[in-house]
Structure 1
Amino acid sequence: MYLSIKGAVVILFLFIGSAVWAQEANTNSIEIGVLAAGDEALYYGAYGKYTIPLSQNKNHFTLGFSMVVYFDFKGESEPDAYLKNDVDMRLIPTANFGYSLNFNRIQVNVEVPVGLSFARTKGTLVNERIGFERDFSNNETFFNYGLSFSPKYKISSTNSLGLYGFLPLVSDKAQSGYQIGIGWTKIFGHK
Protein backbone atom coordinates (compact mmCIF):
# COMPACT_ATOMS: atom_id res chain seq x y z
CA MET A 1 0.00 0.00 0.00
CA TYR A 2 2.75 2.42 1.00
CA LEU A 3 4.65 1.59 -2.22
CA SER A 4 1.58 2.24 -4.42
CA ILE A 5 0.94 5.62 -2.74
CA LYS A 6 4.60 6.55 -3.17
CA GLY A 7 4.46 5.48 -6.83
CA ALA A 8 1.28 7.52 -7.40
CA VAL A 9 2.91 10.61 -5.83
CA VAL A 10 6.02 10.19 -8.04
CA ILE A 11 3.84 9.81 -11.16
CA LEU A 12 1.81 12.87 -10.12
CA PHE A 13 5.00 14.95 -9.66
CA LEU A 14 6.33 13.76 -13.04
CA PHE A 15 3.04 14.66 -14.72
CA ILE A 16 2.91 18.14 -13.10
CA GLY A 17 6.60 18.71 -13.86
CA SER A 18 6.17 17.79 -17.53
CA ALA A 19 3.07 20.01 -17.79
CA VAL A 20 4.96 22.97 -16.32
CA TRP A 21 7.94 22.25 -18.59
CA ALA A 22 5.64 22.12 -21.64
CA GLN A 23 4.24 25.60 -21.01
CA GLU A 24 5.72 28.24 -23.26
CA ALA A 25 7.30 31.24 -21.58
CA ASN A 26 7.68 33.09 -24.90
CA THR A 27 4.90 33.06 -27.47
CA ASN A 28 4.17 34.60 -30.84
CA SER A 29 3.01 38.20 -30.85
CA ILE A 30 1.34 40.66 -33.18
CA GLU A 31 2.21 44.34 -32.89
CA ILE A 32 0.38 47.24 -34.52
CA GLY A 33 1.11 50.92 -34.22
CA VAL A 34 1.22 54.39 -35.68
CA LEU A 35 4.38 56.23 -36.64
CA ALA A 36 5.86 59.45 -37.88
CA ALA A 37 8.89 59.51 -40.11
CA GLY A 38 10.97 62.26 -41.48
CA ASP A 39 13.97 63.12 -43.50
CA GLU A 40 12.92 65.37 -46.34
CA ALA A 41 9.36 65.82 -45.00
CA LEU A 42 7.19 64.55 -42.15
CA TYR A 43 5.41 61.29 -43.01
CA TYR A 44 2.48 59.71 -41.17
CA GLY A 45 1.76 56.00 -41.24
CA ALA A 46 1.16 52.66 -39.57
CA TYR A 47 2.96 49.38 -39.09
CA GLY A 48 2.19 45.78 -38.24
CA LYS A 49 4.62 43.09 -37.12
CA TYR A 50 4.38 39.37 -36.37
CA THR A 51 7.18 38.11 -34.09
CA ILE A 52 8.21 34.51 -33.33
CA PRO A 53 10.53 33.78 -30.35
CA LEU A 54 13.30 31.32 -31.28
CA SER A 55 13.78 29.92 -27.75
CA GLN A 56 12.11 29.76 -24.36
CA ASN A 57 14.92 31.59 -22.56
CA LYS A 58 14.12 34.82 -20.71
CA ASN A 59 16.35 36.75 -23.15
CA HIS A 60 16.04 35.24 -26.61
CA PHE A 61 16.50 35.65 -30.36
CA THR A 62 13.46 36.47 -32.48
CA LEU A 63 12.34 36.27 -36.09
CA GLY A 64 9.65 38.65 -37.28
CA PHE A 65 7.85 39.86 -40.36
CA SER A 66 6.58 43.41 -40.68
CA MET A 67 4.81 45.79 -43.02
CA VAL A 68 5.20 49.56 -42.75
CA VAL A 69 3.23 52.07 -44.80
CA TYR A 70 3.54 55.84 -44.55
CA PHE A 71 2.55 58.92 -46.55
CA ASP A 72 3.28 62.62 -46.85
CA PHE A 73 1.14 65.24 -48.56
CA LYS A 74 3.68 68.05 -48.82
CA GLY A 75 4.82 69.14 -52.26
CA GLU A 76 8.48 68.53 -52.95
CA SER A 77 10.56 71.13 -54.73
CA GLU A 78 13.67 71.52 -56.83
CA PRO A 79 15.34 74.82 -57.74
CA ASP A 80 13.28 75.24 -60.94
CA ALA A 81 10.20 73.07 -60.31
CA TYR A 82 7.92 71.80 -57.55
CA LEU A 83 5.15 69.26 -57.05
CA LYS A 84 1.67 70.29 -55.99
CA ASN A 85 -1.32 68.17 -54.96
CA ASP A 86 1.06 65.26 -54.56
CA VAL A 87 0.98 62.09 -52.48
CA ASP A 88 4.24 60.41 -51.57
CA MET A 89 3.94 56.85 -50.23
CA ARG A 90 6.35 54.24 -48.87
CA LEU A 91 5.51 50.55 -48.48
CA ILE A 92 8.20 48.55 -46.66
CA PRO A 93 7.84 44.77 -46.13
CA THR A 94 10.70 43.28 -44.06
CA ALA A 95 11.98 40.20 -42.28
CA ASN A 96 13.33 41.14 -38.84
CA PHE A 97 16.16 39.31 -37.09
CA GLY A 98 16.54 40.37 -33.47
CA TYR A 99 17.21 39.86 -29.81
CA SER A 100 14.74 40.42 -26.96
CA LEU A 101 15.89 41.48 -23.48
CA ASN A 102 13.31 41.04 -20.71
CA PHE A 103 13.34 42.73 -17.28
CA ASN A 104 10.16 42.17 -15.22
CA ARG A 105 7.60 44.43 -16.99
CA ILE A 106 10.07 45.96 -19.46
CA GLN A 107 11.02 44.34 -22.77
CA VAL A 108 13.67 45.81 -25.07
CA ASN A 109 13.91 44.51 -28.64
CA VAL A 110 16.84 45.22 -30.96
CA GLU A 111 16.34 44.07 -34.54
CA VAL A 112 17.84 44.22 -38.02
CA PRO A 113 14.97 44.56 -40.52
CA VAL A 114 15.90 43.47 -44.05
CA GLY A 115 13.49 43.92 -46.96
CA LEU A 116 12.30 46.16 -49.74
CA SER A 117 11.09 49.74 -49.93
CA PHE A 118 8.50 50.66 -52.55
CA ALA A 119 8.28 54.43 -53.09
CA ARG A 120 5.48 56.01 -55.14
CA THR A 121 5.04 59.71 -55.84
CA LYS A 122 2.13 61.16 -57.80
CA GLY A 123 1.16 64.79 -58.34
CA THR A 124 1.42 67.78 -60.66
CA LEU A 125 4.87 69.05 -61.69
CA VAL A 126 4.94 72.84 -61.98
CA ASN A 127 7.68 75.08 -63.37
CA GLU A 128 6.58 78.72 -63.11
CA ARG A 129 9.76 80.06 -64.69
CA ILE A 130 9.00 78.51 -68.08
CA GLY A 131 5.25 78.24 -67.46
CA PHE A 132 4.17 74.60 -67.59
CA GLU A 133 2.21 72.07 -65.54
CA ARG A 134 2.04 68.37 -66.20
CA ASP A 135 1.04 65.20 -64.38
CA PHE A 136 3.92 63.46 -62.65
CA SER A 137 4.24 59.89 -61.39
CA ASN A 138 7.31 58.02 -60.19
CA ASN A 139 7.80 54.51 -58.79
CA GLU A 140 11.02 53.25 -57.21
CA THR A 141 11.94 49.94 -55.53
CA PHE A 142 14.94 49.65 -53.22
CA PHE A 143 16.68 47.13 -51.00
CA ASN A 144 16.13 48.33 -47.41
CA TYR A 145 17.86 47.41 -44.16
CA GLY A 146 18.72 49.11 -40.91
CA LEU A 147 18.49 48.96 -37.12
CA SER A 148 15.27 48.86 -35.13
CA PHE A 149 14.89 49.54 -31.42
CA SER A 150 11.64 49.04 -29.49
CA PRO A 151 11.29 49.27 -25.70
CA LYS A 152 7.91 48.06 -24.38
CA TYR A 153 6.08 48.16 -21.07
CA LYS A 154 3.96 45.08 -20.23
CA ILE A 155 0.50 46.27 -19.18
CA SER A 156 -0.66 42.68 -18.63
CA SER A 157 0.61 39.20 -19.45
CA THR A 158 -0.73 39.52 -23.01
CA ASN A 159 -0.58 43.27 -23.77
CA SER A 160 2.30 45.76 -24.06
CA LEU A 161 2.62 49.40 -25.01
CA GLY A 162 5.87 50.74 -26.40
CA LEU A 163 7.92 52.85 -28.75
CA TYR A 164 9.28 51.91 -32.15
CA GLY A 165 12.33 53.41 -33.85
CA PHE A 166 14.03 52.55 -37.14
CA LEU A 167 17.25 53.94 -38.56
CA PRO A 168 17.97 52.96 -42.19
CA LEU A 169 21.56 52.00 -42.98
CA VAL A 170 21.15 52.54 -46.72
CA SER A 171 20.46 55.75 -48.66
CA ASP A 172 18.09 55.57 -51.61
CA LYS A 173 16.95 57.99 -54.32
CA ALA A 174 13.56 58.40 -52.61
CA GLN A 175 15.29 59.44 -49.37
CA SER A 176 13.43 56.92 -47.20
CA GLY A 177 14.29 58.13 -43.71
CA TYR A 178 14.08 57.18 -40.09
CA GLN A 179 10.81 56.20 -38.42
CA ILE A 180 9.55 56.83 -34.88
CA GLY A 181 6.28 55.39 -33.60
CA ILE A 182 4.18 54.13 -30.76
CA GLY A 183 2.66 50.66 -30.80
CA TRP A 184 0.54 48.14 -28.98
CA THR A 185 1.56 44.45 -28.82
CA LYS A 186 -0.84 41.54 -28.32
CA ILE A 187 0.68 38.17 -27.38
CA PHE A 188 -1.09 35.08 -28.70
CA GLY A 189 -1.00 31.53 -27.34
CA HIS A 190 -0.11 32.70 -23.81
CA LYS A 191 -1.09 30.20 -21.13
Structure 2
Amino acid sequence: MYSVIRIITIIGLFSISNTLYAQKTNKNSLEIGVLGAGDESLYYGGYSKLIVPLSNKTNHFTISFNLAAYFDFKGESEPDAYLVDDIDMRLIPTVNFGYSLNFKKVQLNFELPVGLSYAYTKGNLVNERIGFEEDYSNKEFFFNYGFSFSPKYKINNSNKIGFTTFLPFIKDKAQSGYQIGIGWTKTFGN
Protein backbone atom coordinates (compact mmCIF):
# COMPACT_ATOMS: atom_id res chain seq x y z
CA MET A 1 0.00 0.00 0.00
CA TYR A 2 2.85 2.36 0.91
CA SER A 3 4.50 1.83 -2.52
CA VAL A 4 1.20 2.56 -4.29
CA ILE A 5 0.90 5.88 -2.43
CA ARG A 6 4.47 6.80 -3.43
CA ILE A 7 3.81 6.02 -7.10
CA ILE A 8 0.55 8.03 -7.11
CA THR A 9 2.41 10.95 -5.50
CA ILE A 10 5.13 10.82 -8.16
CA ILE A 11 2.61 10.73 -11.02
CA GLY A 12 0.71 13.63 -9.45
CA LEU A 13 3.85 15.75 -9.09
CA PHE A 14 4.86 15.11 -12.71
CA SER A 15 1.41 15.99 -14.04
CA ILE A 16 1.27 19.21 -12.00
CA SER A 17 4.79 20.18 -13.10
CA ASN A 18 3.89 19.67 -16.77
CA THR A 19 1.07 22.21 -16.49
CA LEU A 20 3.44 24.90 -15.17
CA TYR A 21 5.35 27.14 -17.52
CA ALA A 22 9.07 26.55 -17.24
CA GLN A 23 11.23 29.39 -18.50
CA LYS A 24 14.64 28.04 -19.43
CA THR A 25 16.38 24.92 -20.53
CA ASN A 26 18.93 23.26 -18.27
CA LYS A 27 22.71 23.50 -18.34
CA ASN A 28 25.44 21.20 -17.07
CA SER A 29 25.93 21.56 -13.33
CA LEU A 30 27.86 20.14 -10.42
CA GLU A 31 26.24 19.82 -7.00
CA ILE A 32 27.89 19.13 -3.65
CA GLY A 33 26.33 19.05 -0.22
CA VAL A 34 25.90 17.56 3.23
CA LEU A 35 23.18 15.16 4.27
CA GLY A 36 21.56 13.26 7.07
CA ALA A 37 20.20 9.80 6.41
CA GLY A 38 18.99 6.51 7.80
CA ASP A 39 16.09 4.57 9.22
CA GLU A 40 17.51 2.87 12.32
CA SER A 41 19.67 5.82 13.44
CA LEU A 42 20.89 9.16 12.13
CA TYR A 43 23.83 9.06 9.73
CA TYR A 44 25.92 12.06 8.64
CA GLY A 45 27.64 12.46 5.30
CA GLY A 46 27.98 14.20 1.99
CA TYR A 47 27.15 13.84 -1.67
CA SER A 48 28.21 15.06 -5.09
CA LYS A 49 26.26 15.00 -8.32
CA LEU A 50 27.10 15.80 -11.95
CA ILE A 51 23.92 16.81 -13.82
CA VAL A 52 23.76 16.74 -17.63
CA PRO A 53 20.69 17.78 -19.70
CA LEU A 54 19.71 15.28 -22.38
CA SER A 55 18.98 18.06 -24.87
CA ASN A 56 19.82 21.73 -25.42
CA LYS A 57 16.29 22.29 -26.67
CA THR A 58 13.30 23.07 -24.48
CA ASN A 59 12.82 19.62 -22.96
CA HIS A 60 13.87 19.36 -19.35
CA PHE A 61 15.00 15.74 -19.08
CA THR A 62 18.35 15.19 -17.38
CA ILE A 63 20.68 12.40 -16.42
CA SER A 64 22.96 12.73 -13.43
CA PHE A 65 25.66 10.72 -11.73
CA ASN A 66 25.51 10.83 -7.95
CA LEU A 67 27.72 9.55 -5.14
CA ALA A 68 26.50 9.72 -1.53
CA ALA A 69 28.51 8.59 1.48
CA TYR A 70 27.33 8.69 5.06
CA PHE A 71 28.47 7.35 8.41
CA ASP A 72 27.10 6.41 11.84
CA PHE A 73 29.47 6.25 14.81
CA LYS A 74 26.87 5.12 17.36
CA GLY A 75 27.13 1.54 18.57
CA GLU A 76 24.29 -0.73 17.47
CA SER A 77 22.70 -3.26 19.77
CA GLU A 78 20.75 -6.50 19.76
CA PRO A 79 18.94 -7.99 22.78
CA ASP A 80 22.04 -9.83 24.04
CA ALA A 81 24.93 -8.11 22.24
CA TYR A 82 26.06 -4.69 21.07
CA LEU A 83 28.82 -3.08 19.01
CA VAL A 84 31.36 -0.69 20.51
CA ASP A 85 33.96 1.49 18.77
CA ASP A 86 32.16 0.83 15.50
CA ILE A 87 31.94 2.57 12.17
CA ASP A 88 28.85 2.02 10.05
CA MET A 89 29.19 3.37 6.50
CA ARG A 90 26.96 3.55 3.43
CA LEU A 91 28.32 4.32 -0.04
CA ILE A 92 25.65 4.81 -2.71
CA PRO A 93 26.60 5.45 -6.36
CA THR A 94 23.55 6.06 -8.60
CA VAL A 95 22.50 7.15 -12.05
CA ASN A 96 19.54 9.51 -11.79
CA PHE A 97 16.96 9.94 -14.56
CA GLY A 98 15.31 13.29 -14.02
CA TYR A 99 12.93 16.02 -15.07
CA SER A 100 13.88 19.58 -14.17
CA LEU A 101 11.79 22.76 -14.31
CA ASN A 102 13.33 26.25 -14.18
CA PHE A 103 11.43 29.34 -13.09
CA LYS A 104 12.70 32.85 -12.32
CA LYS A 105 14.36 32.05 -8.99
CA VAL A 106 13.34 28.43 -8.38
CA GLN A 107 14.34 25.12 -9.94
CA LEU A 108 12.37 21.92 -9.24
CA ASN A 109 14.07 18.56 -9.89
CA PHE A 110 12.28 15.20 -9.91
CA GLU A 111 14.56 12.17 -10.26
CA LEU A 112 14.50 8.38 -10.24
CA PRO A 113 17.90 7.24 -8.88
CA VAL A 114 19.01 3.70 -9.77
CA GLY A 115 22.22 2.22 -8.40
CA LEU A 116 23.93 0.26 -5.67
CA SER A 117 24.19 0.58 -1.94
CA TYR A 118 27.34 -0.64 -0.21
CA ALA A 119 27.03 -1.08 3.56
CA TYR A 120 30.13 -1.63 5.70
CA THR A 121 30.14 -2.13 9.47
CA LYS A 122 33.20 -2.71 11.65
CA GLY A 123 33.59 -2.75 15.43
CA ASN A 124 33.83 -4.92 18.53
CA LEU A 125 30.90 -7.21 19.28
CA VAL A 126 30.28 -7.46 23.05
CA ASN A 127 27.96 -9.73 25.05
CA GLU A 128 28.32 -8.93 28.76
CA ARG A 129 25.97 -11.71 29.86
CA ILE A 130 28.37 -14.45 28.76
CA GLY A 131 31.59 -12.38 28.87
CA PHE A 132 32.15 -12.43 25.12
CA GLU A 133 34.02 -9.87 22.97
CA GLU A 134 35.42 -10.19 19.42
CA ASP A 135 36.14 -8.12 16.33
CA TYR A 136 33.18 -7.80 13.97
CA SER A 137 33.06 -6.82 10.30
CA ASN A 138 30.27 -7.02 7.73
CA LYS A 139 30.00 -5.94 4.07
CA GLU A 140 26.77 -5.93 2.05
CA PHE A 141 25.85 -4.87 -1.50
CA PHE A 142 22.25 -3.99 -2.44
CA PHE A 143 20.37 -2.81 -5.50
CA ASN A 144 19.02 0.65 -4.72
CA TYR A 145 16.30 2.72 -6.42
CA GLY A 146 13.73 5.29 -5.39
CA PHE A 147 12.43 8.83 -5.87
CA SER A 148 14.31 12.09 -5.34
CA PHE A 149 12.94 15.63 -5.14
CA SER A 150 15.25 18.67 -5.04
CA PRO A 151 13.94 22.24 -4.93
CA LYS A 152 16.68 24.86 -5.45
CA TYR A 153 16.81 28.64 -5.11
CA LYS A 154 18.84 30.55 -7.72
CA ILE A 155 21.31 32.95 -6.11
CA ASN A 156 22.56 34.08 -9.55
CA ASN A 157 22.88 32.58 -13.07
CA SER A 158 25.52 30.05 -12.04
CA ASN A 159 24.87 29.31 -8.35
CA LYS A 160 21.93 27.68 -6.54
CA ILE A 161 21.29 26.47 -3.01
CA GLY A 162 18.64 23.96 -2.09
CA PHE A 163 17.44 20.76 -0.48
CA THR A 164 17.73 17.23 -1.74
CA THR A 165 15.65 14.27 -0.63
CA PHE A 166 15.72 10.57 -1.48
CA LEU A 167 13.00 8.06 -0.62
CA PRO A 168 13.89 4.44 -1.42
CA PHE A 169 11.25 2.19 -3.01
CA ILE A 170 12.76 -0.89 -1.34
CA LYS A 171 14.00 -1.55 2.16
CA ASP A 172 17.30 -3.42 2.38
CA LYS A 173 18.43 -5.43 5.40
CA ALA A 174 21.13 -2.86 6.21
CA GLN A 175 18.37 -0.22 6.48
CA SER A 176 20.07 2.25 4.12
CA GLY A 177 16.90 4.37 4.21
CA TYR A 178 16.00 7.90 3.26
CA GLN A 179 18.36 10.86 2.75
CA ILE A 180 17.77 14.56 3.38
CA GLY A 181 20.43 17.13 2.59
CA ILE A 182 21.39 20.71 1.81
CA GLY A 183 23.45 21.38 -1.28
CA TRP A 184 25.13 24.03 -3.37
CA THR A 185 24.98 23.78 -7.18
CA LYS A 186 27.44 25.35 -9.61
CA THR A 187 26.12 25.60 -13.18
CA PHE A 188 28.42 25.82 -16.17
CA GLY A 189 27.63 26.37 -19.87
CA ASN A 190 26.87 23.71 -22.45
TM-score (norm 1): 0.84
Q: Which residue of 2 aligns with 1:170?
A: 170
Distance 1:169 1:138 in 2: 24
The one-letter amino acid paired with 1:28 is N
Following TM superposition, where does structure 1 have runs of at least 4 consecutive aligned residues deviating by more than 3 angstroms? Answer: 56-59
Q: Which residue of 1 aligns with 2:139?
A: 139
Name the SS for the 2:156 alignment partner. Answer: coil
Distance 1:109 1:73 in 2: 32
- Percent identical pairs in the alignment equals 69
Contact 2:82 2:127 in 1 (8 A): yes
Q: Which residue of 2 aligns with 1:80?
A: 80
Contact 2:36 2:43 in 1 (8 A): yes
Q: Which residue of 1 aligns with 2:67?
A: 67
Q: Which residue of 1 aligns with 2:52?
A: 52
Q: Which residue of 2 aligns with 1:113?
A: 113
Distance 1:99 1:42 in 2: 29
RMSD: 1.3
The one-letter amino acid paired with 2:108 is V
Q: 1:59 to 1:156 in 2, by over 3 A?
A: farther
Distance 1:116 1:133 in 2: 32
Shift of 1:25: 4.7
Distance 1:168 1:54 in 2: 24
Shift of 1:188: 1.3
Distance 1:153 1:54 in 2: 22
Contact 2:25 2:60 in 1 (8 A): no
Shift of 1:26: 2.7
Shift of 1:27: 1.6
Q: Once the two structures are superposed, what CA deviation does each residue of 1:77-133 show, in whole Å capped at 9, x if it has no partner?
A: 111100011000000000000100111110000000000000000000001111110
The one-letter amino acid paired with 1:156 is N
| Structure 2 gap segments, 5+ residues each | 1-23
Contact 1:59 1:101 in 2 (8 A): no
TM-score (norm 2): 0.85
What is the number of equivalent residue pairs in this alignment? 167
| Structure 1 gap segments, 5+ residues each | 1-23
